[in-house]
Amino acid sequence: MWKNKMAVVDIETTGNAPKKGDRIMQIAIVIIEENKITDQFSSFVNPEQPIPPFIVELTGITPHQVNNAPLFGEIAPEIYKRLEGAVFVAHNVQFDLPFLQAEMEMAGYDKWQGSLIDTVELARFLLPTTDSFKLSDLTAQFNLSHDRPHQADSDALATSFLLLKFFSKLNQLPLVTLEKMEELSLHLKSNIAELCKSIISDKRKDIKALPADIEVVRGIALKKAPDQTEEEISPFNSDKIEVILKQAVPHYEKRESQLLMTAEVEKAFDNNTYLAVEAGTGVGKTMAYLLPAVKQAAQGNRVVITTQTVQLQEQIIRNEAMLLQKALNQKIEFALLKGRSHYLHLLKFEQALAEEEPQYDVVLTKMQLLTWLTETENGDVDELNLTSGGRLFWNRIRHSGWFLGKEKDPWKEKDFYLRALEKAKRSPIVITNHSMLVNDIQRKTPLMPPFSSLVIDEAHHFEDTCRRQWGKQLDYINLKYTIGQIGNDSQDLLAGRLNKIIHSEPGGKQPQELSDELIQELSHEADLSFGQLGSLLKSSVALRKGQQKYSLSLTPEMKESSHWKKIQYAFERLLSCMKQINQRLQYNLDLVKKESDKLTDSKKAITEETYSFLTEWSEWIQAIRVFFLKKDNSAVMWLDGDLRSLPGSLSLTSRSIHIQEEIKEHFFTKEKAVVLTSATLTIDHSFEYFLKGLGINEQQTSCKIYASPFDYKSSVRLMVPKELPEIKKVSQQEYVEMVTDHLIAMGQATKGRMLVLFTSHEMLRQTYELMKDSGLMEDFVLMAQGITGGSRTKLTKNFQRFDKAILFGTSSFWEGIDIPGEDLSCLVMVRLPFSPPDEPLTKALWNEAERQGKNPFAEISLPKAILRFRQGFGRLIRHENDRGLIVIFDRRLITASYGRYFLSSIPSVPVEERDLESIVQEIEHWL
């Protein structure tokens, strides 16, 4: 099939639903034969209807271009001739084909029938680590010509180039990989099985040796592990640091603050002291702590570097670490270490591959993993772009240690988790994440190798990470999913598979029964207990118009109520069922372990999967005990839920109020250097609030501030609109309407390129809907977190793709997104980022401050809001040449006595009070 005639089709349409009457307005077909482009056809088409402004903005196709174009019926013979006898190829076949079928039918032709190839589907499993499967992103990745995205002729040609790349990649995959893919691809939506079959047929006629870096183990092709040789690092003097930076950093410019920070980190490492460094954007803090870390490594000392985000970990490994090795002209072993659930368990995957599972997401994920195993050295899930269904499948095959002991694992020599641990033991610099470090520090036998110095980057998150990792979570959806994995003795799920192993082994041992009645009772008790929680939420919250999501603090007083006693009793019944399941599965597992020497590898895999399940099951049991059986007044507990989807949306959370002593005991009492750094650690130039959260103070810690070298005065304008009222003096509806009017006027002046930050998702949704319904923003692309779909990364990328785009974000958008240059010209903060006072954790911390006779607003809410404000401010200027406007809609910035603390926490920029007309004029002038 892969050498057959291929008709690569792309269309542009007036909308996305042919059934609603949307029509084709441009079509292009590229013919590929024998893997060469042999013919191209493209034409505008008169859609006989107006083109919506959004589509004009997206495609650049104007009514003028299509009004004099032929009707589809006039070019239908040309199209039919090209499609005849071809394989139909498109980037998202399910979009293009229905439109084409509808138009062909209207033109009097039979529906086209034949084989289909979807290049999105091919991309999903052939490029398992790529961030995006959008055509423009894929062509950029391969440096393919694609000059006019969203125009059919350019898109069809780009898809053709992409298809040929995919043919080439399929052809290079090992035969064993392709053979497994062929079986799996029978369950895909397009005819990829035929494609695989034809390539396999050709490869069998001319079998070539495997590439030097690939090996086949137990029928699965893997990338060989790199050689593990320890490298000596040559020491260097401190006076060489600037020379090394010049060699390492492209377009290096001397920054005094970077050199000063490097010297301070070096001093902390040498003297085993604590250092807190606030380093503004552009200081170059990563290099400032990496160079002293390498110097320590050369002296035989290990440094652990921990970050909050995966992005920063990978950036350090891919960018700064590589630049340093090049500059020093030597190999330095940097190890990336994560919790074991990040790594693939190969025995479990081998077993899952042998199972018949037609579910689409599972099939696609298995195919992704087969490709990935020929490419990955780490086996780390963070490399993969999985669907939500793929994530659930990953939970089955991820690493959770060994029940039968690693010696019984036939994949032990290739195990990714063991490889990561070994590399960490060998490496002088280990990079990890806050969660891994915080969990590991409490283990009896830590996984982290001993170290002499610790760097905590993105340190403003560290207290929250400790609180989260040492807390508990219980939610309905995940519990029900976990229950669904058990099955009864007669089903081909965990219980049934374990039963089969016991019955198949000689000795006549009898497993303990997991009957259908017991599993049904378990599921029923889960529904009843969470149903009771749902009715508690409904009856206890004060309903607000338009609000659906609520949080309810579970106070000691509430836990004395008769309603709570009923809930407690329901969860005790659920717990009793769960313990029975636990006891019976554990008994059956122990029976299997006694016969472990006789087990086949597939039986070992089932045993390990059951052990993983029981580890998770024990955590569920422990969480229910914490919430319903133990009395713990040192923790704050709350219930979250959406009244539109009960009990499905319910989750319980428990967090310790006092964790400072625990943090201090684990991280600040040993003879180790600890460097804490971030762009936002201080409030009014003081580290007191930040350090107090970690159980230490400024007497114990050397504190340094290195301001950003950027010239904010000439690159930033900060404005506050005059007409907007004080938030609390009008209703939310009224305030949202005024905000919307301002955003529409400003958005038109900036021509998009605007990021709008909210503190409430409810207000974001209301503003987004009002703007959309206004009819004034039809040629703008409006994107809203939690509404228009996609992760933060995906929304950010889409925002950068469109010229007239406005992005609405809450919570996670206040920090950690990087939109440099002209892609972001205007930043709007709708409100100062105070946490709602009724938020359970905030409420508990307020009560605690009051008990100590302190001012809770000044002690808790204001410092958090200031740090958040600083992080939001930092979104606008990411590089030296960036410039733009910040507009704060919250007049408390200039009317409230505490407004000055917000202003003194950011670089010195004049605050301009202006009316809307003046702001719009200034925007047009400034940009």
Report how far residue 788's alpha carbon sits from residue 782's, in angstroms, rounded to the nearest whole number: 8
854 has binding-site annotation:
no
Report how far residue 500's alpha carbon sits from residue 491's, in angstroms, rounded to the nearest whole number: 10
Distances (CA, A) of 243 to 246, 324, 325, 530: 5, 12, 14, 63
**Is 643 within 8 Å of 547 (Cβ atoms)?**
no
610 has binding-site annotation:
no
Residues recorded for the chain:
927
Report how far residue 44's alpha carbon sits from residue 71's, in angstroms, rounded to the nearest whole number: 9
**Is 306 within 8 Å of 453 (Cβ atoms)?**
no
Distances (CA, A) of 62 to 128, 135, 335: 37, 22, 53
DSSP reduced 3-state for 108: coil
Query: 617 is written with which tokens?
Result: 């099951």
Query: 743 is written with which tokens?
Result: 């955003």
DSSP label at 408? G
- What is the amino acid identity at position 716? V
DSSP reduced 3-state for 155: helix
- What is the amino acid identity at position 646? L
State residue 31 phi and psi, 5-degree precision: -95, 130
284 has binding-site annotation:
yes
State residue 830 phi and psi, 5-degree precision: -75, -40
**Is 891 within 8 Å of 294 (Cβ atoms)?**
no
Pick from 585, 607, 619, 424: which is nearest to 512 by CA?
A: 585
The DSSP result for 563-620, as a single string, is HHHHHHHHHHHHHHHHHHHHHHHHHHHHHHHHTGGG--HHHHHHHHHHHHHHHHHHHH
281 has binding-site annotation:
yes
**Is 297 within 8 Å of 218 (Cβ atoms)?**
no
Distances (CA, A) of 806 to 14, 413, 630, 653: 22, 51, 48, 34
Cα–Cα–Cα angle for 204, 209, 213, rounded to 5 degrees: 130
DSSP label at 833? -
Distances (CA, A) of 320 to 245, 316, 433, 659: 10, 5, 17, 34
Pick from 80, 96, 4: which is nearest to 41 by CA?
A: 80
Q: Which residue has the tokens 């593990």?
A: 228
Distances (CA, A) of 345 to 348, 396, 498, 519, 596: 6, 9, 19, 28, 19
280 has binding-site annotation:
yes
DSSP-H helix ranges across 68-106: 72-83, 93-106
**Is 356 within 8 Å of 362 (Cβ atoms)?**
no
Query: 351 is written with which tokens?
Result: 């077993």
State residue 30 phi and psi, 5-degree precision: -115, 125
DSSP label at 857? I
DSSP reduced 3-state for 275: strand
Binding-site residue set: 279-286
Annotated binding site for ATP: 279-286
